[in-house]
Amino acid sequence: MNKILSVLTVCGLLAMSCQKQTLSNSTSLTSDINADGTNPNITGRRCGSYEVLEQQLKNDPSLAAKMNAIEDFTTRFQQNASMNRLVNGVIVIPVVVNVLYQTAAQNISLAQIQSQIAVLNADYAATNADYSLTPSIFQSVRSGNTNIQFVLDTVIRKSTTTSSWSTNDAMKKSPKGIAPTSPTTKLNMWCCNLGGGILGYAQFPGGSSATDGVVIDDNAFGSTGTVTAPYNKGRTATHEVGHWLNLRHIWGDANCGNDLVGDTPLHNAANYGCPAAGTKSTCTGTPVMMTMNYMDYTDDACMYIFTLGQKTRMQALFATGGSRVSFAQP
């Protein structure tokens, strides 16, 4: 795929967002699919930030070139295993959680925040209990431990009169929001009440450090407290941190699109709810879809693996010359 074209057409490359809507326990499939691979007739996680991407590209004409450079580096990393900094160790990422609240319920507890860190560590280490549910067809390409860990650094809380937030990054800016703390060495996460049905969104590598990080709705943050099913197992953050670590949606944000990973099957579209085992796409070869991958749109209870190819993309960020190598420094 032509890389500059992919940067301009993939939905939400810099600010992926998902919507918090209800859904019966079924899947999206082939009819009436939008150009970005979502289905307008199905409610569930949805990308809603193509407009954000367009605005960011307009504001920063150099952005597409930066993202293409990251892709070039990732390709070289995939072809040269000696570039891997993680052979004998792990990357430990400090996490700053910025809580913006208007109501007492939105001021989520420390226990709820800690539950989210625990989910991230389990999912990225492949120690999550549901990892064992992986169908046999995909067991050989499961990521195993990505060697990326997360540790809670600090919690910053701020009372606000803002009743809901959008994807315009206002929660990341003073005076209403909270500016990121040390964004070149710490992952900043914002927990707030997202409006417009938005569940969460993330900024990809290559964007401005002033807005770098992940935003999660307070009712989808962690696995206890105020979380609401079917987004009550902390997988919204697993998905969004995946974007922050340079992973695309598994369907490539297009009908049978390219997620830039070699070991994920072609998906004709996003999947929702909890699809039946063995669900096939309508793409060339009609492969069985990896609906349990964290980068699909299925419910929290039905996503539980990354792949080896996705692991390699994430690790490339921390190699010498990688876009997030500053996080790998002592």
| Catalytic center residues | 240
Burial class (CB in 10 A: 0-12, 13-18, 19+), 223: middle
Handedness of CA 184, 185, 187, 192 (dihedral sign): negative
Do you know the residue count of the chain? 330
d(CA 111, CA 223): 10
d(CA 245, CA 253): 17
Which one-letter amino acid corresponds to residue 101? Y
H/E segment holding residue 216: strand 214-217
d(CA 136, CA 24): 26
Please report, for residues 14, 153, 253, the alpha-carbon distance to residue 9 in angstroms, rounded to integers and kept in the order given. Answer: 12, 36, 8
Number of H helices, E strands in the chain: 6, 6
Burial class (CB in 10 A: 0-12, 13-18, 19+), 179: middle
